[in-house]
Amino acid sequence: MLTKEKILLIDGDEGVRKSLSLFFGARNYHLHTVENAMQALISIQKQAYDIILCDEVLPDMDGLDFFKIINNRCQETIKILISFYGNNTTLEEVRKRGVDWLLTKPFSGDEVEAALLVLIKSKQGKNSRSPKEKC
């Protein structure tokens, strides 16, 4: 169902990157993983992404700061912030910063996939008055 979307995962945790790579790869989804914001910014310059999943705590930058940097040029890209259990970050807070969804660790690949499907359906249902670029 997500075979056409290009997905970027930014997470400093190698285990998260590997497990989601296996999950998405088994479904023939296009997933590219990087471990920090700088690598993500370089990747975004080379490739347009439909979906960006970004950990809140990266080795080189806060995930919300990363989304702040890319928000203007990536308005149509679905943005998901990955937070850790017990953090006080709320969905309302992240939506104010242009993020579409808050995903809390620990999570399963099925939970990520379900969230992506809901967000894609929601984005498709909205009528854009002016075309906006994906990242």
Q: Considering only CA atoms, which of 127, 9, 118, 20 is closest in space to residue 76?
A: 127
Structural domain span for residue 106: 6-125
We report the CATH number of the domain holding residue 100 as 3.40.50.2300
How many angstroms separate the CA atoms of 21 and 134, rounded? 22
130 domain residue, yes or no: no
pTM over 0.85: yes
Domain count, the chain: 1
pLDDT tens, residue by residue, 40-86: 999 999 999 999 999 999 999 999 999 999 998 898 999 999 998 66
How many angstroms separate the CA atoms of 7 and 24, rounded? 10
How many angstroms separate the CA atoms of 12 and 70, rounded? 19
131 domain residue, yes or no: no
